[in-house]
Amino acid sequence: GQAFHAVWSSSLTSSSIKGKPDIETVDTSARIGVVEDVLEVCSLPMIYDGDTGGHPEVFHFTVRSLERLGVSACIIEDKTGLKQNSLFGTDRKQVLEDIDTFCKKIEAGKKAQVTDDFMVIARMESLIAGWGQEEALKRAKACIAAGVDGIMIHSKEKQPDEILEFLQAYNQFEVKVPVVAVPTSYNSITEDELFKA
């Protein structure tokens, strides 16, 4: 079989375990309990999907707790309001958070870190929300300036074209951080092709 290099702890899985809707009804403390359970039986690096991150003060607590447990990274998305699954795209109203407010969360998370090993990754939802490439790139630059360790670009399209377009423009940035891509819907592209882009 195929071996994986890391595990992903999502709010969807935590909500499903508890039989609740995936709209942030499972709070951070309960989700951290799930993380503890997984880390008892798994030694792979874990990436934690932090949804919107909550208020900066909450995100500070989240980062401290995750880092203490040995989680490798936390990804937070630049949306606000009632959580909507990104794969609904524009079929559901996806509201992007004010970028300055989002960057304050990133800064709070980075200040909470005890070591340099933990990563805070910003998930750009501009393409999902229908705001386009220019907005995604503007937000990525702001997040990098706020100290983020990585940028996740997300798409619900069936082909990787808009991701490849984003990466082409992103690669022109003077200051860059690693990019995370999640080809859930555009799964015709290979890992090698994404890496080369």
CA separation, residue 158 to residues 64, 71, 136, 188 (Å): 37, 31, 19, 8
Q: Give the pairing type, strands 95-96 and 79-80.
A: antiparallel
Residue 116 annotated to the active site: no
The one catalytic residue in 22, 49, 51, 192 is 22
Catalytic residue numbers read 22
